[in-house]
Structure 1
């Protein structure tokens, strides 16, 4: 039983009452009789605007026992409003709420109190749905069925893991109950769920206790009230979208639009200058996916490029998770609009997702979380990829995956969270596998470091996490087994893409500014990166210095320790297999060497590992800004936010530059090619498209993919070992064209070259050779003329050689 510390109200009992004239007096007497003098208690009756003599009955009881108090609402506003009035008027160390009909007998209080004490929980709620509950008097069969269905629906959408949210018999820690009810907004039946959601957000444990329960005639609760609960919760959810959420979402979208304003300014002709050939490639990915969807063709393979061998789309990154649902947009408005939408909306959605995670897990200050979300999504390495690799800047699923993994550690609903994590992971695989691998690496580093900082938490999380990951893996494997089989063992599959030993970052790249940062310099950044789409660090020395200062200042927090270890480890790993000490000839072995030749990791550009630092820095900034907002003195706040501003200002991204893309030759745009390319044949651009020049892919994607081309820009196999390379396996004739384009002299083309050309044209099933105007056009024209033995014909702005019948 509850003990009574001197001078303190040990228990407050809150009874909401509406038109309970007949039942209230026996209920109050039963409660008084059970509590007796066992502890210091108070009993608060809240009249919810009754139309009968409920207030009179309550006041008569209060006149007999001064421990009974009466609170009167001016009008009938609902059970939630009554409970809020009563709980906020209470003083008890614990607060019991119970219905006026005592459908759950007051004696069940002892079981709830015992559960709270033994389980060290913040609340114990009575449950009629618990397997050990005792239903002494049932409702009608129809009401029970409808009530059970309604309760299951509430559990599914609002409070997973709790069997009975609506039982009116609940015992709370008093202070926590008053905090929860002060925050509550619902006036009706949904307040039970709202309070439980508040406890869950705060991480306060709740135990569910089986109770005796008997249906009471004249009950105010009907089966339809479960529907009212759902309606109230939906309205609450809508009101919960705070102004900060809307403002930050709009700011993120505006930021993305400003980044891509030059692209949006003329979608028909604008080409992102730093994209190299990637914009052509991605537009082609979107176009071929939409075409496959429209014609119900295999979305994982195509021969439109690299004819006749084809392209393993699952072995590339067509972002099927977006290109498939956006297929109607692509078909209606063209792939360039899809490209612009994916980049613009994807980056803003990513910022919002990081903001949501930081607001949920790092700081309660939403503006601080918003600042951290902006840094995580618009950090320099992400901006670098924003011109060419949407799979590395459209990352909105990663925060959701992280949050679901953290929920598994909490162990509330392991099966449900595990299944959802499996679904999230599956979707991310169809957005970008390398990103998922890097995110998993970052999560593993964070989990290891946090476990070392909080061994007790780690021990408690091991079992639910392992179980949930099992569910996630099971769900994910079932859904992706066939696509992964096609990726790794299907047509045009490959084993790995090797990038050499120098794909890591220079240590200077971690502290310099990128070419697209406000304080950046393109010439300096270009020297430290593989290319402008791979400026994978460039956080700037002010931000790095501020991060170090924050880690030192907040070191006692386990979260900060884990973030510091994760960021530092990712930065070091990103330096690659060989770490070259700047301004010296010293070369040290890098820890990436341990992963470089492991499955999956062998295809990773190790410099990209530094992208993990972006959300780490975002979380640190969010935490610091949240603490500064609560600082006692204005001087501290001003100095702190000034330091953050000075650290972030240099890396504010500037708008992406664009240039006018080349016009599509009339021979292609007007469909003149159709006279020369029969079914089963290909159109052969001279030179063949490759990663260095893929304008022919734009010809295809902009004109409906009516013809196939050999060569192309994709990942595919090369040689007997099926090593992954960029582009098609080279052939004699394609190499000759590439050599001439690069400025090498025209060789002496005789019978051997002509025989090889005939073999290559037969392999490509060539219908027509097409030479568009370009710097080396005269030399290329001469080479083709010698190879096929006749002059070309000028048609639609290009030189062509009809070779369909020559083969």
Structure 2
């Protein structure tokens, strides 16, 4: 029979698929002749190459709008996140090129700075792609990371499915396709590389599965592989920490639940596997700690570190589980009510046809332990994603849910609960891959069997509406010439540039201007996560300085506020806090109101230089 459908050995429930505990071979398989070995490798490599090419082509297509205009193009649904990520990649490359500490920087939020490890700087790609960033700019790095993230995640899950779960490369490709291009992945591809570059997670799962399988080997054989397995696992986890800790946490919780349910009816087998892998996992943990000790210390105890961050209400609406995503064929036809947190957090949006197919497939294959484990992950993490109370159509029903008891647990309190449904993606993909394999097996028995055709029709019914569309891109305004032609250097003497008003998460354009200047100056304010208050609670953006708040209110209201002696004294104190050398007003909404307000605050009129209004405040601040 096909691999993956043979009966388990010694399994009480006669499950047909053994993923974690299929016994490892005690001896190598019989040797084939060289021509047969070459033919077999070419056949398998051809299938892998076809899958890889398809995934890469689809990833490029989804991001083609950004690829066609890599310098001026901007993924409009990213809000200000694309600007932030480009800044992360740019400052990482700048620090590496200048042999400076990449874990922290004073280039933003001057003079307090930014803890880069406490932000999602993704050193795992930012550092190795430094030459790309320096040669082609951070936007190219940004879109390259997103493209390779979609492709790599799909292909890594395909690799796991094809090597450990199903015999058919086509069945594995179906699972990989959903893992790499699920609605949540496409949504995050607008702005969040840390939730797109997830290729290491299936590799970690693959390593754990193979370690578990070797639990049945003799102790001498296990010990011979222990150090090698520990090094591989430790390196993979350390690299994932350098890419994103939140996805790693969600994966660890879901994989642990999967393993628990998988061994629920064979506890002796589970305990034997646990005892066998624990020493290796502990050694791997020590290796991971040794590799990440300094970055993790900097993240939790270094300058501008914080203990936790309150995201507010970030759960999935129940409707979000069943609607089609906005960037999909189904969403073009029937998007439904907009119940997402924002366009980059459509973390479920599986569509009702997929739920029907997955439910039917789960019922038909319920005897398989792997299916029961996957179904449990889907249900548990989908419920957790709904938050503390059930929301339906943006209406809070007041019905308490399990997350209410977990939302204040350490580490979990930093996770956006909406993202828990991302754990369901590989579980759903696993069920679809197994169903596809079963259909293909039926076809091998009888070419006229109607069940394979029904399954393929069901796959089209479920997946076609989720086919992603090209992510929308607009052109961003050009950077003011003041920053690009070197003029800014004439007005900076070791202090900062203060934009009127300073950059914040809602408007972080100044970060792009700083990058385009070649990091010639530090910025007051910015878009980052940093501490606030004595309890070091995390928040987005800088602490609110009174003068910054005054300027933002004036811009929103388009009204010049009353500027008295107290306001001028406060402005001087804030400028001294920022170590300001120059205040710059670039072209912006209600610019005349802002210019007249700053004139009154500093006591002298602005000067127009290279497309911006500016106030040289060096003499004022140092007097």
Match of 2:492 in 1: 677
| 2:619 is the counterpart of 1:805 | yes
1:350 matches 2:350: no
Q: 1:123/1:445 Cα in 2 relative to 1: closer, same or farther (>3 Å)?
A: closer
- Offset at residue 736 of structure 1 (A): 1.2
Report which stretch shifted further, 726-735 or 515-524.
515-524
The 2-side partners of 1:575 and 1:730 are apart by 32
User: 2: CA distance between counterparts of 1:241 and 1:546?
Assistant: 29
Counterpart Cα distance in 2 of 1:245 and 1:363: 14
What residue number does 2:72 align with?
269
Unpaired segments ≥5 residues, structure 1? 1-120, 126-164, 166-176, 195-234
| Residue matched to 1:462 | 274
1:414 pairs with 217, 226, 238, which one? 226
What is the CA–CA distance in structure 1 between the aligned matches of 2:506 and 2:68, rounded to whole Å? 26
Question: How far is 1:511 from its partner?
Answer: 0.6
1:280 and 2:83 are equivalent in the alignment = yes
Which of 641, 664, 667 is the equivalent residue of 2:479?
Answer: 664
Partner SS, residue 773 of structure 1? coil
1:563 aligns with 2:374: yes
Shift of 1:657: 0.4
1:454 Cα offset (Å) = 3.4
Pick the aligned partner of 2:264 from 434, 438, 452. Answer: 452
Task: Confirm whether residue 309 of structure 1 aligns to residue 121 of structure 2.
Answer: no
The structure 2 residue matched to 1:499, chosen from 311, 322, 332, is 311
- Deviation readout 1:579-631 (Å, 9 max, x if unpaired): 23559763221211232111111111100001111111111111111111121
The 2-side partners of 1:584 and 1:266 are apart by 41
Note the 1:693-772 alignment, pairs <5 A. 693-743=507-557, 745-772=559-586
Supply the distance in 2 between the matched residues of 1:342 and 1:691 (Cα, whole angstroms): 22
CA contact (8 A) 2:339 2:394 kept: no
> What are the superposed Cα offsets for residues 68-107 of structure 1, whole Å, 9 maximum, x if unpaired?
xxxxxxxxxxxxxxxxxxxxxxxxxxxxxxxxxxxxxxxx
Report Cα offsets for 1:38-71 as digits up to 9, x if no partner. xxxxxxxxxxxxxxxxxxxxxxxxxxxxxxxxxx
* Residue 583 to residue 437, structure 1, CA distance change in 2 (3 Å): closer
**1:790 equivalent in structure 2:** 604
Deviation at 1:268, TM superposition (A): 1.6
Whether the 8 Å CA contact 1:274–1:533 is kept in 2: the answer is yes
Does the CA contact (< 8 Å) of 2:319 and 2:392 recur in 1? no
Asked if 1:297 corresponds to 2:100, the answer is yes
Displacement of 1:360 in angstroms is 1.5
- 2:450 is aligned to 635
Name the residue aligned to 1:650: 465
Q: How does 1:199-218 map to 2 (within 5 A)?
A: none
Q: 1:789 to 1:526 in 2, by over 3 A?
A: farther
Alpha-carbon contact 2:326-2:332 (below 8 Å) kept: yes
SS of residue paired to 2:498: strand
Aligned mates of 2:43, 2:557 — CA distance in 1: 64
* 1:555-634 correspondence runs (5 A): 555-581=366-392, 586-631=397-442, 632=446, 633-634=448-449
Work out the CA distance in 1 between the residues paired with 2:196 and 2:524: 30
> 1:231-242, aligned counterparts within 5 Å?
239=42, 242=45
Deviation of 1:805 (Å): 1.4
Distance in 1 (CA, whole Å) between partners of 2:396 and 2:42 is 61
Give the whole-Å Cα distance in 2 for the aligned partners of 1:684 and 1:574.
40
Partner of 2:49: 246
Structure 1 residue 402 and structure 2 residue 205: aligned?
Answer: yes
Q: Who is 1:75 aligned against?
A: none
Kept in 2: contact 1:525–1:535 (CA 8 A):
no
Offset of 1:240 from its aligned partner? Answer: 6.7
Higher RCO (CA < 8 A, seq sep 6+): 2
Kindly tell me: are residues 767 and 559 of structure 1, through their superposed partners in 2, closer, same or farther at Cα, counting changes over 3 Å?
Answer: same
Counterpart mapping for 1:358-437 below 5 A: 358-410=161-213, 411=215, 412=222, 413-437=225-249
- Size of the alignment, in residue pairs? 586
Instruction: Answer yes or no: is the 8 Å Cα contact 2:558–2:590 preserved in 1.
Output: no
Aligned residue number for residue 11 of structure 1: none
| Shift in Å, 1:417 | 1.5
Residue 548 of structure 1: how far off its partner (Å): 0.6
Distance 1:529 1:251, change over 3 A: same
Kindly indicate whether the alpha-carbon contact (under 8 Å) linking 1:312 and 1:491 is maintained by their aligned counterparts in 2: yes
Alignment of 1:463-478 (within 5 A): 463-478=275-290
Deviation per CA, 1:720-767: give whole Å up to 9, x if none: 111100011111011112222332643211111111110111111111
1:514 and 1:525 in contact (8 A); partners too: no
Report the alpha carbon displacement of residue 661 of structure 1 after superposing the two structures with TM: 0.4
Structure 2 Cα separation of the partners of residues 796 and 712 of structure 1: 23
Report deviation, 1:465: 2.3
Is the aligned partner of 1:321 residue 2:124? yes
**Radius of gyration: which is bigger?**
1
TM-score (normalizing by structure 1): 0.70
Query: Secondary structure of 2:614's partner?
Result: strand
1:130 alignment partner in structure 2: none
8 Å CA contact 2:124, 2:243 repeated in 1:
yes
Partner secondary structure for residue 586 of structure 1: strand
**C-alpha separation between the residues in 1 aligned to 2:98 and 2:423?**
39
Distance of aligned partners of 1:319 and 1:297 in 2 relative to their CA distance in 1, 3 Å threshold: same
State the alpha-carbon separation in 1 of the partners of residues 614 and 25 from structure 2. 81
Segment of structure 1 superposing worse, 618-627 or 450-459: 450-459
**SS of residue matched to 2:560:** coil
So what's the TM-score if we normalise by structure 2?
Answer: 0.91
Of 143, 146, 161, the match for 1:340: 143
Contact 2:110/2:524 (CA < 8 Å) preserved in 1?
A: yes
What is the rounded CA distance, in whole Å, between the counterparts of 1:790 and 1:584 in structure 2? 52
Shift of 1:670: 1.2
Please, which runs of 5 or more residues in structure 2 have no aligned partner?
1-22, 216-221
Q: Residues 237 and 331 (structure 1 numbering): CA distance in 2 closer, same or farther, change over 3 Å?
A: farther
> Secondary structure at the residue paired with 1:314?
coil
**TM-fit CA distance, 1:432:** 0.3
| CA distance in structure 1 between the partners assigned to 2:609 and 2:388 by the alignment | 52
* Aligned counterparts, 1:546-561, within 5 A: 546-561=357-372
